[in-house]
């Protein structure tokens, strides 16, 4: 079990707000923040998860290719997510994440 910790920090105060448990994380591959409140995380093994960091809910689990997505990057020009799985790359439309 791995966790995402959300903290408040204003240069003086560092305060824990919430912890989000993420199942089955062996090794965090990559993560990108989308639309301010959504964290997309890849785990090198298994699905790519979309987590709402405001309420701590995992809202979608996405199968990309055969899994093993290591790297995620957001492409502003096309509003797509580039998900790289070893020798293959996949383009995911951002809007598909929120359907």
Partner 1 sequence: MEDTIVKKDRIVLESEVCFACLYIEIWDRIIMAHTNGILSLWDGTSMTKLDSVEIPIDKASESEDIAFSNKHELVISLFEWKIDIRKITPQGLSRQPIMTLSSLVSINAILILDHIDCFLIGSNKIELWSFETLKPAGIIDTESEGPIAEMIYIKKFNQLIVTTFGPNILFYDLKKKLMRRKVHFRNEHWANVIDFVEDQIY
Per-residue mark of binding to partner 1, 2-21 (x: CB under 8 A): -x-xx-xx-x--x--x----
How far apart, in whole angstroms, are the C-alpha atoms of residue 69 and residue 48? 7
Sequence-ordered list of residues with C-beta below 8 angstroms from that of 33, at least 6 positions apart, any chain:
39, 40
**One of 21, 24, 26, 65 touching partner 1 (CB under 8 A):** 65
Smallest gap from residue 88 Cβ to partner 1 (A)? 5
Q: Burial of 36 by CB count in 10 Å (0-12 exposed, 13-18 middle, 19+ buried)?
A: exposed
**Does residue 45 interact with partner 1 by CB under 8 A?**
no
Q: Is 79 a binder of partner 1 (CB under 8 A)?
A: no
Partners of 51 in the β-ladder: 39, 58
Tell me the sheet residues that pair with 91: 82
Binding site for partner 1 (CB under 8 A): 3, 5-6, 8-9, 11, 14, 17, 28, 31, 33, 36-37, 47, 54, 58-65, 70-71, 73-78, 80, 82-84, 86-93, 96
């Amino acid at each position: 079990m791995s966790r995402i910790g959300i903290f408040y920090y204003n240069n003086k105060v560092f305060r824990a707000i919430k912890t989000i448990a993420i199942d089955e994380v062996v090794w965090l591959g990559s993560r990108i923040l989308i639309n301010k409140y959504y964290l997309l995380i890849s785990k090198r093994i298994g699905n790519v998860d979309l987590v709402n960091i405001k309420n701590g809910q995992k809202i979608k689990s996405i199968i990309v290719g055969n899994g093993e997505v290591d790297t995620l990057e957001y492409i502003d020009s096309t509003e797509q997510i580039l998900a790289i799985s070893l020798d293959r790359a996949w383009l995911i439309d951002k809007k598909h994440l929120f359907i």
